[in-house]
Amino acid sequence: MFKSAFITILGLPNAGKSTFLNAVLGEDLVITNPKAQTTRHRIKGILNDENYQLVFSDTPGIIKESAYKLQDAMMGAVNESLEDADAVLLILDGQYSKVEEFEAYKNKINCPLVIAMNKADLVADQEKLQEDINKVKDYFGTEMVFAVSAKENFNVDGIVNALVNIAPEHPAFYDKDSISDENVRFLVSEMIREQILTQFKKEIPYSVEVHVTEYNEKEKLDEIYATVFVERDSQRGIMLGRGGSAIKNLGIASRKRIEDFIKKKVFLSLSIKVKKDWRKDDQQLQYFGYIKK
């Protein structure tokens, strides 16, 4: 009997949703970062086993009040992925279980709920952790609450077991060899954005969008051309750095990250373009794939 399920990963920014998905897959498929709002789209990651296929949707963290149209679109992606879920995996930050933030979502979840109390590695007081787990069980009315550490790969398999148990009997939804339904271009653009989040400060990480304009697969190496869009001229200057040093370092770090992932040599060329206030502009958000046409 083969089981298959769509699982939506839900949680506040920074709870460790993307880290959890990577731990499940054993690959750094999705990008993670200490900065909130790293994940902007719903991204699927697929776990394949002889007896089951779990299709996880990583989602942007829940934010109550959005300041930009970009954030509206991000919350749209969250709601959309709740609609077709067979199960919801809620990831809470084990340290502060801000459960009341999910009040509005409790009614929207019409399927089994599994909860991970993540970052258990940071919790010193085990008794307190157990108390918190019990409170979470009461609040959400589910027994399926587990202490895990996505970063240390502790009890990630416990969550997978719980999800397999509740997965319906169904043939695989996707090719059993693939770990994502996303194309390589998109994943590569995300990896470049991940390096931008690491290397740049202040508003830059929130103001950039990365687009792969050309991807040529060659025998020995893949040739990739990407454009980094920023919102203002001043940001273009920061991205370039003195004598082009910043963009050069970004190129080197991004190339390494992509090579690790695709397990092949890469030639990467980056350029920078200004798209004024793209985060507030419907047309631009459409172009970047945040809103459907």
Ligand X SMILES: Nc1nc2c(ncn2[C@@H]2O[C@H](COP(=O)(O)OP(=O)(O)O)[C@@H](O)[C@H]2O)c(=O)[nH]1
Binding residues for ligand X (CB under 6 A): 11, 13-19, 32-34, 38-39, 61, 118-119, 121-122, 149-151
In whole angstroms, how far apart are CA 236 and each of 35, 53, 272? 21, 43, 7
Distance separating alpha carbons of residues 247 and 244, to the nearest angstrom: 6
Contact of residue 59 among ligand X, Mg ion, none (CB under 5-8 Å per partner type): none
Q: Which is nearer to ligand X, 3 or 41 (CB)?
A: 41
Least distance in Å: CB of 39 to Mg ion?
Answer: 3
Could you tell me which residues are beta bridge partners of residue 46?
55
Least distance in Å: CB of 191 to Mg ion?
Answer: 14
CB 15 within 8 A of CB 102: no
Distance separating alpha carbons of residues 273 and 236, to the nearest angstrom: 7
Q: Which is nearer to ligand X, 80 or 281 (CB)?
A: 80
Distance separating alpha carbons of residues 281 and 176, to the nearest angstrom: 39
Contact of residue 15 among Mg ion, ligand X, none (CB under 5-8 Å per partner type): ligand X
Q: Which is nearer to ligand X, 113 or 159 (CB)?
A: 159
Helix residue ranges, H only, 141-219: 156-166, 184-199, 204-207
CB 91 within 8 A of CB 116: yes
User: Using CB under 5 A as the criterion, what x/- string covers residues 21-60 for binding Mg ion?
Assistant: -----------------xx---------------------
> What is the spatial order of strands in the sheet that 221-230 belongs to?
209-217, 221-230, 265-274
CB 205 within 8 A of CB 35: yes
Find the residue with minimal CB distance to ligand X: 16
Number of residues lying near Mg ion (CB under 5 A):
4
Least distance in Å: CB of 196 to ligand X?
Answer: 14
The answer to whether residue 18 forms part of the interface with Mg ion (CB under 5 A) is yes
Burial category of 287 from C-beta neighbours within 10 Å (exposed 0-12, middle 13-18, buried 19 and up) = middle
Strand, helix or coil for residue 242: helix
Determine the length of the chain.
293
Contact of residue 284 among ligand X, Mg ion, none (CB under 5-8 Å per partner type): none
Least distance in Å: CB of 51 to Mg ion?
Answer: 28
Least distance in Å: CB of 161 to Mg ion?
Answer: 23
Least distance in Å: CB of 58 to Mg ion?
Answer: 6
Q: Which is nearer to ligand X, 92 or 109 (CB)?
A: 92
Contact of residue 45 among ligand X, Mg ion, none (CB under 5-8 Å per partner type): none
Contact of residue 150 among ligand X, Mg ion, none (CB under 5-8 Å per partner type): ligand X
Judged by CB under 5 A, the stretch of 13-21, 135-143, 181-189, 232-240 that binds Mg ion is 13-21
Residue type at position 68: Y
- Measure CA of the first residue to CA of the last residue in the chain; give whole Å: 40
The radius of gyration of the chain's CA atoms, rounded to the nearest angstrom, is 20
Least distance in Å: CB of 140 to ligand X?
Answer: 18
In whole angstroms, how far apart are CA 78 and each of 43, 57, 135, 176? 11, 9, 25, 25
Least distance in Å: CB of 177 to ligand X?
Answer: 25
Judged by CB under 5 A, the stretch of 11-19, 88-96, 111-119, 268-276 that binds Mg ion is 11-19
Distance separating alpha carbons of residues 195 and 106, to the nearest angstrom: 35
Residues in contact with Mg ion by the rule CB under 5 A: 17-18, 38-39
